[in-house]
Chains A and B, each alone.
Chain A
Amino acid sequence: MTATSDHQQAAYVAGQAADARVHVELQTGDMTLNIGPQHPATHGTLRIAAQLDGEMVIRADPIMGYMHRGYEKLVEVRTYTQVTSLVNRIDWMGSFANEVPFILAAEQIMEVEAPPRAQWIRTILFELSRIANVSLFLGDMGVQLGALTPVFFAFRDREHVLNQIEAITGGRFHPNFDRIGGLKDDIPKGWIQETKNCMVKMRQFCDEMEDLLVGNAVFQKRCRGVGVIPADVALGYGMSGANLRASGVDWDIRRDVPSPLVYNEVDWKVWTHPDGDSFARYWVRLQETREATHIVDQLLDGIPSGPIMAKVPRIIKVPEGEAYITTENPLGEMGYYVVSKGDLGPFRVKIRTPSFNNISIVPWVMRGVFVPDVITILGSLYFILGDIDR
């Protein structure tokens, strides 16, 4: 009796153990999918560690820092003239826009003001770099969703803008043109007319993109309602730029924060979209590119004559002080907090880059989306890796 019960008990225990083993082996657990660091859909080395349940993303974490170059430390051992050539490389698609807030901050500490002609040309180049940056996104978004044609058009027409930037500054990607107290050089002859022709081409490009992608039913199906970010969440995560305006927040530093740049001289409009989904982000950027061409056109007509450089000493020493300047860069709000101790170079520089905050929303927005939508959302958030890691 006892022997049988022992036997039965042993069989029972063995059965339980086998059951447990089977349960363990058949358990449908979460799968971790690494998107990146090297992946054609990420514009550089960004890694998204996504936990999947079937086809659904439960959790996605952006893992940054693969391209960290330590700019905040580097600029501490450079002089003010050398810093501009370094910070060019932060957002490499719209380089000139990176120099402007740093120079403005240094000018504010020095209490130097650039002459009006320099400010106008600065604003023109700022908008040209916005067009060069965002027009690539307009085509690139198609590639993320499987439409190959738009990116070729984007590269074709972006070339015109880069040619204009090269003709005035000498550098296609890294102009290094902004100086404390003004600009390095004046406009070469014929540049204004060429830039106007170029803006006509860019408006045609925007129309083409609108017909190719915005009106396309496949594009709309894949973008509408995907990655919806409400306005309060977007504000809470510190998003800025077109990503914030696509959530319906009417905030643009070019208009709302007084700055030496001459945006208040021209007639222009801030575009917003109430939806906050991927389609809204694309649409807002498209309208912004078109608006930027109008801003450039108006500014080209009204460049005042005069000197290009204020009176500054040949060896620039910035007096003791600190300043924080933000500008509306192509990707969003970019700020430099410059602390000077009266040396040849800055004592400490804090760089606030837009992409870093924009990408921080990934864990929030990617809960419960499907795997193909991850690419759509990443593409529509539009970050530049150098801007995240700097």
Chain B
Amino acid sequence: MGKPKIPGIFKGLGITLGILGKTIKDGANTVQYPHEKETPPTRARGVIALHEGNCTACMLCVRSCPDWCIYIEGHKQLAPPRRAGGNPRKVNHLDRFDIDYALCMYCGICVEVCPFDALFWSPEYEYSEPKIADLLHDKSKLGEWMETVPEAPELEAGAQKK
């Protein structure tokens, strides 16, 4: 029993001291958050951005949300005809598009089901609020996130384009 006792402990101490030396030389693995920031990957699911012009208030995202955190209201209105002399068109106008980030569980199903490419993921993550009610992002705030949406990353070799 006496034989393995000393080497085992010294081996462990050696590892700890080695890591200590490496940390002194190369710096710590941690990041001091408000001063330095890590960039999340482009696919990171940070916040959902809304391209308002594409939304037709079809309610697909509302119905597919597992915890029902999207609220849409819209009405039909008449738009000027495409050609001169034609009948006025009926279009869906979006009155309200709210996502309650206090409820959202970031599954991404709404972005996936959207048939008109109105919803996008942005890796932005700094939108915490002191009041929980402020986490309800409305149409204009969701539209502002559109600027932060990155291009989809290139795919690895062997991937088939859709």
Contacts and interface: CB of A to CB of B under 8 A. Distances in A.
Please give me the 8 A-B residue pairs with the lowest Cβ-Cβ distance, nearest first. Answer: A305-B158, A85-B107, A188-B153, A215-B8, A186-B159, A187-B156, A82-B66, A217-B5
Interface in B129-156: 153-156
Contact of A174 (B5, B9, B107): B107
14 contacts: A81-B109, A170-B43, A170-B121, A176-B107, A176-B108, A186-B156, A189-B155, A189-B156, A212-B15, A212-B16, A304-B158, A305-B160, A307-B160, A308-B159
Contacts of A188: 41-43, 153-156
A215 B11 contact: yes
B106 interface: yes
Interface in A294-349: 303-308
Nearest to A177: B108
Given A79-B64, A156-B29, A170-B43, A149 B16 contact: yes
Interface of B: 4-5, 7-9, 11-12, 14-16, 19, 29, 40-45, 64, 66, 105-109, 112, 121, 153-160
B20 to A, nearest CB: 10
A339 to B, nearest CB: 20
Nearest to B6: A217
Nearest to B5: A217
Given A156-B29, A171-B108, 18 more contacts: A82-B64, A167-B41, A167-B43, A169-B43, A170-B43, A184-B112, A185-B43, A187-B156, A187-B159, A188-B42, A188-B153, A188-B155, A192-B156, A212-B12, A212-B15, A218-B9, A306-B158, A306-B160
Contacts of A215: 4, 7-8, 11-12
Contacts of A211: 11-12, 14-15
A43 interface: no
Nearest to A304: B158
Contacts of A79: 64
B66 A85 contact: yes
Contact of A186 (B5, B40, B107, B155): B155
A5 B40 CA distance: 94
Contacts of B40: 166
A188 B12 CA distance: 39
A216 interface: yes
Contacts of A273: none
A167 B4 CA distance: 43
A190 B104 CA distance: 31
A230 B114 CA distance: 54
B19 A153 contact: yes
Contacts of A171: 44-45, 106, 108
Contact of A78 (B5, B66, B112): B66
Contact of A216 (B12, B108, B158): B12
A296 to B, nearest CB: 15
A85 B8 contact: no
A168 B43 CA distance: 7
Contacts of A390: none
B148 to A, nearest CB: 15
B115 to A, nearest CB: 9
Contacts of B41: 163, 166-167, 170, 188
A86 B159 contact: no
Nearest to A192: B156
B45 A170 contact: yes
A215 B4 CA distance: 8
Contacts of A85: 66, 105, 107, 109
A191 B155 CA distance: 9
B92 to A, nearest CB: 21
A112 to B, nearest CB: 18
Q: Which of B8, B12, B108 counts the most A-chain CB atoms under 10 A from its CB?
A: B12
B110 to A, nearest CB: 11
Contacts of A174: 105-107
A367 to B, nearest CB: 27
A208 interface: yes
B156 to A, nearest CB: 4
A86 B66 contact: yes
Q: Which of B105, B109, B155, B159 counts the most A-chain CB atoms under 10 A from its CB?
A: B159
A306 B162 CA distance: 11
Nearest to A89: B105
